[in-house]
Amino acid sequence: MSILEIHVLGSPILREVTTPVAQVTDDLRRLIDDMFETMYAANGVGIAAPQVGRSERITVIDVGQGPIALVNPEIVSSGGGTQRGEEGCLSIPEIYGDVERAAEVTVRALNAQGEPFEVTGTELLARCLQHEIDHLHGRLFIDYLSLLKRRSAMSKWEKLKKDFPGNRRTVSAQEVAEHATKPDEEL
């Protein structure tokens, strides 16, 4: 397994719609393993293929209930009203905002072995599923912010983006070491 570079805001791939996976291969399973490794090293709870420069419709999630790999995920139902909560993103470090999402979602996908399954999430899992599936459709959490809050976030990002040449973020050895001592924070 290896830690991959994370594409940050400004990288065109983050705004592209991903391509459905025709077949789960050994190469895609290696990608899934690398995505988990990258997500854990970056202290995240989810990461989608575009965030690591890939166009396949794949995301991985672990909100503390065990790792979940989702290939070709689709939300098949949502309910329970809505919940508002703070979100961050590994592709927009240090930027946070309150986003309203469905309180409960059911997602249908393939697992890393290519077998179909469904997962129903509430609270953080529901939020994470929606956030990561948005990535697969070229949407970012900042798209849901009010105009004023989005302008504020973008102003802050203008000051931070110089730290990410080529719109790439390399997870440092320090971040890997810090992950061992901190709870997961960013989607």
Do residues 87 and 129 touch, judged by C-beta distance below 8 A? no
Cα 84–Cα 85–Cα 87 angle in degrees, nearest 5: 135
Which of 43-47, 128-132, 155-159, 178-182 bottoms out in mean pLDDT, i.e. has the lowest? Answer: 178-182
Task: Give φ, ψ of 17 to 5 degrees.
Answer: -80, 135
Catalytic residue among 118, 132, 175, 178: 132
Say whether pLDDT at 76 is over 70.
Answer: yes
- Give the pLDDT of residue 182: 47
Record the tokens describing residue 101, joined without a space: 């999402």
Residues 6+ positions from 127 with CB-CB distance below 8 Å: 83, 85, 87, 99, 101, 187
> When comparing pLDDT for 16 and 179, which is higher?
16
Cα 20–Cα 7–Cα 141 angle in degrees, nearest 5: 75
158 is catalytic: no
